[in-house]
Structure 1
Amino acid sequence: MRFVVHTPPPPLARFVSQLWYYATPELPHVLERVLPSGAVNLLINIAEDELRWYDDPTAPAGVAAAGGAPSPARCHRLRGIAVCGAHAEHITIDTAEQREILGAEFTPGGAFPFFGPDVEALGGAHVSLEAIWGREADLVRERVLEAKTPEARLRALESALAARLLRPRAPPARDPAVDFALAAFADPSRACTVADVTGQLGMSAKRFIRSFTEQVGLTPKRYCRVRRFQQVISAIDRGERLSWAGVAAACGYYDQAHFIHDFRAFAGLTPTEYVARRRERNHVRLDG
């Protein structure tokens, strides 16, 4: 497996938290679940001109075909360059199409200058980049494919995003109220609620929620829940000695029962099941 991460320089760094390249031999399992991070991602499949995801095969209506592969009727397909919107639900992918993938993860609210009001519509959805950027999407993928090394491919994507950011007709920057809210939600010493933020901003809750959702892709309340869930995932990934009651308290849950309920809502698994089945951060096996 090869995983390369690149942090872009300013001014792009304000909007793109990281560019990444992932390549791996074919894995023995077929399906895996990707847990919600709350971030918008641009994905480019290097290995094939297609991106696929599936309805949850563990749901009552999900029926797997022979060999563990999902029923074709449950499969959704897009061209090989697409945007995965900020989502608060887990999604299911197959590892066959993940042999070589390039991506850009946007900062909270950072996708707005690239996709404008489409960011809200992307919430929880996968959309072909061609539907938003037109022919330019294919040109970006072509430039990436022409590059010969992972590092060169990352530079090609960085260049395309930087050019898009600086073009004269780019969407406007984030609303300062959204920037203020994101900073407040990220500061553990403040423990701000949505009501706290709207009160400090001196604006109506309706107006704030509308602006935040349009530019981040999730409502403020749902964004904060996903962010708290990801704090738990980070604690697990650090390999700390885990007391679930301690994790619940450290991450701001009312009690352990609330923590377990929220974790299951986002992951479809208990925290203990996640630890046992995780393959890498936010990815868990769905094979037996």
Structure 2
Amino acid sequence: MLPPTGRPMRFVTYAPPPPLGRFVRLLWYYAAPELPDLLERVLPTGAMSLLINLAEDELRWYEAAPATPAGATAATAATAAARCHRLSGIAVCGAHAEHFAIDTAEQRAIVGAELTPGGASPFFGPDTEPLSGAHVSLDALWGREAALVRERVLEARTPDARLRALEAALTARLLRRPARPLARDPAVDFALAAFADPSRATTVADVTGQLGMSSKRFIRSFTEQVGLTPKRYCRVQRFQQAISAIARDERISWAGVAAACGYYDQAHFIHDFRAFAGLTPTEYVARRRERNHVPLDG
């Protein structure tokens, strides 16, 4: 989950080198002096994140509303996502394939780590499927260490120092158990690379055939390590490809986006987009503030 943007703010990112970089794609710091008090829909990326709220010792999220009915107002959509869940100030957002909402007023100062697909096992154990679509206070997984990590990040005085403090904590966790191999599962890595290749439409059957694995075994292994089934992961990545295509084009051809991203037709594209975003593509374009964040109340 990346922070809301488009407002006076400071946004700093850092891609850690190996060995941590094999498991953590990006560390980021976001700060803004003032943010409006509204709900903002976060669209699914398929990635798992660790979040630390530096402004208060709490993180809040709101349940996803159903896809917005045709003609519904923004107020109706906001009301539908009104149930609030409260976590500690350091928490994990599991790989998700559904949108949810955040309270932007609490996002005044926040540090995050976006994990690579399949990169969660050194930090949370070999089976991350139970975290799929979940939001969990980190102390439920790490005990007292979670609060200590937040304290170390809070003690750092600059954005860069805060990112380095989080990097050090994650690296220490990564290297703590020498018996645990630091290598990623080669079968899952192969599948992720194949699914990411835009030059070919790779199916689960293609991957299992090339790996020489049974479909059942591959799906179980992939889901345990990535947090989503291969099919659902591919659908989310195709949705994200569409989001990227929309961001690139000033004059959007919906039929062109659908074809370029591998949808059967424009109707299939719109149906899938609404399933993940809760909005039609045209509603998304009209209301987005940042590629994966859409305000719910205005």
Retained in 1: the 8 A contact 2:241–2:261? Answer: yes
> Which residue of the other structure, out of 7, 13, 20, is the alignment partner of 2:21?
13
Match of 1:63 in 2: none
Cα distance change on mapping 1:54 and 1:29 into 2, 3 Å: same
Match of 2:3 in 1: none
What does 1:40-119 correspond to in 2, within 5 Å? 40-56=48-64, 74-119=83-128
> Which residue of the other structure, out of 245, 264, 269, is the alignment partner of 2:279?
269
Counterpart code for 2:190: F
> Which residue of the other structure, out of 109, 116, 125, is the alignment partner of 2:134?
125
How many pairs are equivalent? 282
> Residue 220 in 1 paired to residue 230 in 2?
yes
Counterpart code for 1:49: D
Q: Give unmatched runs, 5+ long, in structure 2.
A: 1-8, 69-74
What is the CA–CA distance in structure 2 between the aligned matches of 1:264 and 1:71, rounded to whole Å? Answer: 16
Cα distance change on mapping 1:117 and 1:99 into 2, 3 Å: same
Match of 1:35 in 2: 43
| RMSD (CA atoms) | 2.1
Cα distance change on mapping 1:30 and 1:220 into 2, 3 Å: same
Deviation at 1:237, TM superposition (A): 2.3
TM-score scaled by length of structure 1: 0.92
Cα distance change on mapping 1:249 and 1:116 into 2, 3 Å: same
Counterpart code for 2:168: S
Counterpart code for 1:188: P
> Residue 207 in 1 paired to residue 217 in 2?
yes
What is the CA–CA distance in structure 2 between the aligned matches of 1:284 and 1:260, rounded to whole Å? Answer: 17
Cα distance change on mapping 1:15 and 1:171 into 2, 3 Å: same
Counterpart code for 1:252: G
Q: Percent identity of the aligned residues? A: 82
Deviation at 1:50, TM superposition (A): 0.3
Secondary structure at 2:128 match in 1: helix
What is the CA–CA distance in structure 1 between the aligned matches of 2:51 and 2:79, rounded to whole Å? Answer: 22
Q: Give unmatched runs, 5+ long, in structure 1.
A: 61-65
Deviation at 1:113, TM superposition (A): 1.7
Counterpart code for 1:117: P
Match of 1:175 in 2: 185
> Which residue of the other structure, out of 108, 133, 153, is the alignment partner of 1:144?
153
The superposition leaves residues 239-264 of structure 1 with CA deviations (integer Å, 9 ceiling, x where unpaired) of: 44310100111111111110010000
Match of 1:162 in 2: 171
